[in-house]
Amino acid sequence: MDLVPALEEPLRQPLKSVLGPATAKVMAEHLGLLTVGDLLHHYPRRYEERGQLTHLADLPMDEHVTVVAQVADARLHTFASAKAPRGKGQRLEVTITDGSGRLQLVFFGAGVHKPHKELLPGTRAMFAGKVSVFNRRLQLAHPAYELLRGDPEESVETWAGALIPIYPATAKLESWKIGKAIQTVLPTAQEAADPLPDTLREGRGLVPLPEALLKIHRPHTKADIEDARSRLKWDEAFVLQVALARRRHADAQLPAVPRKPAPEGLLTAFDARLPFTLTDGQQRVSREIFDDLATDHPMHRLLQGEVGSGKTMVALRAMLAVVDAGGQAAMLAPTEVLAQQHHRSIVEMMGELAEGGMLGGAEQATKVVLLTGSMGAAARRHALLDLTTGEAGIVIGTHALIEDKVQFHDLGLVVVDEQHRFGVEQRDALRGKGKQPPHLLVMTATPIPRTVAMTVFGDLETSVLDQLPAGRSPIASHVVPAADKPHFLSRAWERVREEVENGHQAYVVCPRIGDEEDDPKKSGKKKSPEDEAEKRPPLAVLDVADQLTKGPLQGLRVEVLHGRMHPDDKDAVMRRFAAGETHVLVATTVIEVGVNVPNATAMVIMDADRFGVSQLHQLRGRVGRGSAPGLCLLVTEMPEASPARQRLGAVASTLDGFELSRIDLEQRREGDVLGQAQSGARTSLKVLAVIEDEEIIAEAREEATAVVANDPELTRLPALRTALDALLDEEREQYLEKG
């Protein structure tokens, strides 16, 4: 990260004598380590303690111990086994003694050769390992050992008390080999240029970078590790926040057309026809957005809202305000189903205000067009023309909006729905369509803890909608353990029938479609009892729909919906379901976001353990959207004690998306949650944990903002500039890989 010439040395050349070309090649291919600097920033994952020196007479069971003893005898046995059927298996048994007792060491397979040569009777050495019992006798299996030549007492003490770094390794390169390579390059850590400004480092009592690198790779005490980690966490948080602060600063310098809604225009007419009052939250967030839209530099705002909190309404009012001010607004949705859904619901909400240029259209009306990749040529041409002439004030579309052919008359606002599905580059591509940079509103229904928002969306200001509109009903959620209690599943289908009899509708969600080729290689290699449920392929829409129509839901109108259907067919199915003609919709996660059918009150999620926490929360948000209470049943075959069941229990126990996103983050690594959709910088976090290190991230953001305000080009901080270039190179590389 802080690459100066010595640290920029490629691993292949300078260390030939040490690493050897083969090791350097494995490091490059399997760990992405190319330079001395990369290797120094490959931090230990944890540290083993060899344990205090112990007498053989009082060895504790199941603990890591270090003993100093003499080899009494060593015997090599051969045996037959599944791996070595012809009696070629080898086992070395070594008995050691320290005067207080005796202990057996055992080595197997290829691991016998070195100790067989070195551990001769009479040899004195230190042995470290975990004490276990075999045939009612204590033993150490494959212990680490160091021969003692002469008897320097000091070396015994330091070796036994040492903290051994355990590095993230690969099957091709063990941790101790990585450790050895790092020890070789450790002296160059002295030349590491420090990216933190001196005032910041001293003010926070952080150790200099060279010292931090020495302490993390060769700690003498646990306090050393703590010092090093505190310092390196700051590096990661600060350099990342500087990158985001510079992005915010650059955006703030861009010119934009202020968009203020006309006094008695489209927005006023729309508000007048609303059959309900906006929630306090919607009014507050709308004010924040309108204030941003009125300025002469582009708005960059993230709108987070719980499932069903009325984000679309807030976004639509912002779009209408821009149309009022003479501009156009574009909404980017991640899927065709969602784009069609948004188009339909926006046209419905606007009524005659969406019929610009048509008979019966209101005076202030505009046109709302849909643009997706699968539209027919004529419809597409028509939509493109409406955008170029400015006839259409609002366009809703998928990635098709980003294409070169799409030209706007005057693009004033871009709304990106479900941001986690789009990368920063796609956001920028659409923004490039304006004559001047348009304002940007990014929406997500996946609640994001504050720290993740600061890390992933740090270039955006954040607004949160945390109350549900009036008329939304509570959703009861229950786990249905199909394997332990099959009658619970039968009862689930009865509940679906009851909902339909009461005039409502239901969703059944499955993890896959069912017309894929099953890959025999992928099935059933797992052995543990908990994996039994995992052995069969995930339940599929087509199979489940078939079983339900012939079985528990016989007589009800059941339809299927999945991503590989023709867009027109998908649209027709959604229309029939929305109109109440279909009782039960069996679908994949295409219904995860944006689908709004207030009459659907029940949802059964099959193989719920195969979905992520936030995905389950999203899916569940499709029910309880009307006046009748919602019901969500999470069906699983996972055993009760499994982590998967605990995860489902957590989802069933709370409707608070922010609480769930915390649970989600704690259970998975941040990398998964921050996701590949965000550019590469996010994956560069090695020691910073976005949930635990909330305070560091918040403080680093403040410091970074101040540094960038004083010196946007970082001319007075060359080492920080270098660290930033290294981070952004990585980000660009990730972007190119994705492209």
pLDDT at 53: 64
CA dist 674 and 455 (Å) reads 9
Q: How far, CA to CA in Å, does 426 sit from each of 324, 644, 679?
A: 26, 34, 11
Mean pLDDT of 522-527: 43
How far apart, in whole angstroms, are the C-alpha atoms of residue 15 and residue 639? 51
Position 215 confidence tier, pLDDT thresholds 50, 70, 90:
very high
Alpha carbon 319 to its chain's center: 30
pLDDT of residue 403: 82
Q: How does DSSP assign 318-379, residue by residue?
A: HHHHHHHTT-EEEEE-SSHHHHHHHHHHHHHHHGGGGBTTSTT--TT--EEEEE-TTS-HHH
Q: d(Cα 664, Cα 651) in Å, to the nearest integer?
A: 10
What residue has token string 């006798």? 137
> Mind listing the pLDDT tens digit for each residue in 138-183?
888 888 887 877 655 656 666 666 787 878 767 677 676 788 888 8
In the chain, the amino acid numbered 60 is P
Confidence of residue 538 (pLDDT cuts 50, 70, 90): confident
Q: Which residues contact 173 (CB under 8 A, 6 or more apart)?
A: 23, 26, 27, 30, 31
The stretch 456-477 carries a mean pLDDT of 78
Both tokens of 735, joined, read 């972007």
Please tell me the distance from the alpha carbon of residue 722 to that of residue 574, in angstroms, as a whole number. 53
Q: Which residue has the tokens 């992005």?
A: 247
Please say if the pLDDT value at position 739 is more than 50: no
Structure tokens that stand for 314 in this block: 């807030």
List, as one string, the DSSP characters of 617-686.
Answer: HHHHTTSS-SSSPEEEEEEE-S-TTSHHHHHHHHHHH---HHHHHHHHHHHS-HHHHH-TTS-GGGGG-S
Place of tokens 């894929």: 516
The H or E element containing residue 68 is: strand 64-79
Quote the CA–CA distance of 228 and 186 in Å, as a whole number. 14
Task: Look at 125-129, 305-309, 517-521, 734-738 and tell me which has the smallest mean pLDDT.
Answer: 734-738
Average confidence (pLDDT) over 309-317? 89
At 529, which amino acid appears? P
Residue 601 pLDDT greater than 50, yes or no:
yes
Beta bridge partners of residue 95, listed in sequence order: 73, 104
Residue 541 burial by Cβ neighbours in a 10 Å radius (0-12, 13-18, 19+): buried
Residue 554, CA atoms < 13 Å, CB-side half-sphere: 3
Buried b (16+ CB within 10 A) or exposed e, 91-125: bbebbbebeeeebbbbbeeeebeebbeebeeebbb
Q: Name the token pair of 600.
A: 């659907």
H/E run at residue 238: helix 222-253
- Residues 327-347: pLDDT tens digits? 999 999 888 888 888 898 899
Instruction: Give the side-chain half-sphere CA count within 13 A for 540.
Output: 12
Encode pLDDT of 602-637 as tens digits: 999 999 998 888 788 888 888 888 788 899 999 999
Q: Which residues pair with 634 in a beta bridge?
A: 479, 605
Q: Give residue 530's pLDDT.
A: 42
Q: Which two tokens stand for residue 179?
A: 């450790």
What's the confidence (pLDDT) of residue 401?
85
Task: Give the pLDDT confidence of 262-295 residue by residue, as tens digits.
Answer: 888 899 999 998 888 888 989 999 999 999 999 9
pLDDT at 529 over 60: no
> pLDDT tens digit string along 689-734?
777 788 898 899 999 999 999 999 999 999 899 888 877 765 544 4
For position 25, what pLDDT does the model report?
Answer: 85
Q: What is the β-pairing status of strands 439-444 and 367-371?
A: unpaired
Hey, CA dihedral for 158, 161, 167, 170, is it positive or negative?
positive
- What angle do helix axes 222-253 and 209-217 make, rounded to 10 degrees? 130
Query: What CA–CA distances, in Å, run from 557 to 486, 500, 560?
Result: 25, 10, 10
| Helix ranges restricted to H, 254-310 | 266-272, 280-293
Tokens 């070594």 belong to residue: 94
- Residue type present at position 275: P
pLDDT in tens, 640-686: 888 888 889 989 988 877 778 777 766 654 444 444 334 333 346 77
Question: Is pLDDT of 489 > 70?
Answer: yes
Collapsing DSSP states into helix, strand and coil, what is residue 277?
Answer: coil
Q: Is the pLDDT of residue 583 over 70?
A: yes
Phi, psi angle pair for 683, to nearest 5°: -85, 0
- Alpha helical stretches, state H, 404-485: 424-431, 450-456
- pLDDT at 198 (0 to 100): 92
pLDDT cut 70: percent of the chain above it:
83
> Which distant-in-sequence residues (6+ apart) come within 8 Å of 659 by Cβ?
none
Q: How many CA atoms lie within 13 A of 297 on its CB side?
A: 8
As a whole number of angstroms, the distance between CA 643 and CA 651 comes to 13
Q: What DSSP designation does 100 have?
A: S
CB 387 within 8 A of CB 328: yes
Q: What is the pLDDT of residues 388-413, one digit of tens each?
A: 999 999 999 988 888 878 899 999 99
Dump the DSSP string for 550-605: HTTTTTS-EEEE-TTS-HHHHHHHHHHHHTT--SEEEE-GGGSSS---TTEEEEEE
User: Does residue 72 have a pLDDT over 50?
Assistant: yes
- In 3-state terms, what secondary structure has residue 707? helix
Per residue in 450-465, pLDDT (tens digit) is: 777 777 677 788 888 8
> Rounded mean pLDDT of 414-422?
73
- Picking from 296, 285, 261, the residue whose alpha carbon sits closest to that of residue 437 is 296
pLDDT band, very low/low/confident/very high, at 20 (cuts 50, 70, 90): confident
The percent of residues in the chain predicted with pLDDT above 90, rounded, is 35
Q: What pLDDT shows up at residue 522? A: 44
Q: With CA atoms as reference, report the closest residue to 234 among 715, 718, 697.
A: 697
Average pLDDT, the chain: 82
In whole angstroms, give the CA distance from residue 216 to residue 245. Answer: 29
**What is the structure's pLDDT at 507?**
95
Token digits for 190? 């002295």
CA distance 268 to 469: 21
The pLDDT of residue 427 is above 90? no
Supply the DSSP string of 144-204, one letter for each residue: EEEE-SS--HHHHHHHHHPEEEE---BTTB-HHHHHHHHHHHGGGGGGPPP-S-HHHHHHT
Query: Which residues lie across from 97 on neighbouring strands?
Result: 70, 102
Q: Which two tokens stand for residue 81?
A: 């086994």
Give the pLDDT of residue 181. 86
Residue 75's beta-bridge partner residues? 93
Looking at this protein, which amino acid is placed at residue 233? Answer: K
Sign of CA dihedral 734, 702, 286, 282: positive
Kindly state the tokens that stand for 273: 């026809």
